[in-house]
Amino acid sequence: MAGFPKGKDKLGEKAKRPMPGIPLDINVIASLIVKHTGNVSRVADTMGTCRGAVRSVIDKHPHLQDLLKQQRERQLDELEKSVFDRALEERDTTLQLFILKTQGRHRGWDQSEAQNAAKDIATAAFDYILNKSTSKQ
């Protein structure tokens, strides 16, 4: 192919040359979904076909749909763990508060807009009182 060094295919290049008429094995697709943690494009590249062909097979088989969903959830679990670890290790207060407000809602860490407005009003009132008392001196 022009523009590519000889012997090196760009990722996804195989998908541009699918082999029509060859049925896709659902067991192979299942194992590749696990291997590539739910990345359908990578599954298609490995099989030498296009993403749409793999996606249509997945859409026809509920157990492949479930497996894909499980692998994507697993990926999110890993991402959450790395974010939690970073928040603790680096003592990133902003990240810690974000995690508490999103993951700790059920423990009372969420703040509604009304709570935010009340806090802003109280802060403004406190600042007014503080400034008023210091200006008299």
pLDDT in tens, 66-122: 999 999 999 988 988 898 898 888 888 888 888 888 887 777 777 666 666 667 787
pLDDT, average across residues 46-64 = 93
Residue 34: predicted pLDDT: 95
In this structure, of 14-23, 31-40, 76-85, 112-121, the range with the lowest mean pLDDT score is 14-23
Percent of the chain with pLDDT over 70: 74
Residue 4: predicted pLDDT: 45
Rounded to whole angstroms, the Cα distance separating 55 from 60 reads 9
| Whether pLDDT at 22 is above 50 | yes
What's the predicted TM-score (pTM) here?
Answer: 0.57
pLDDT band for position 37 (50/70/90)? very high
Rounded to whole angstroms, the Cα distance separating 14 from 5 reads 15
Indicate the domain borders of the chain: 13-79, 111-137
Rounded to whole angstroms, the Cα distance separating 40 from 15 reads 12
Stronger pLDDT, 58 or 132, i.e. the higher one: 58
Using CB atoms within 10 A of its CB, is residue 33 exposed (0-12), middle (13-18) or buried (19+)? buried
Stronger pLDDT, 20 or 40, i.e. the higher one: 40
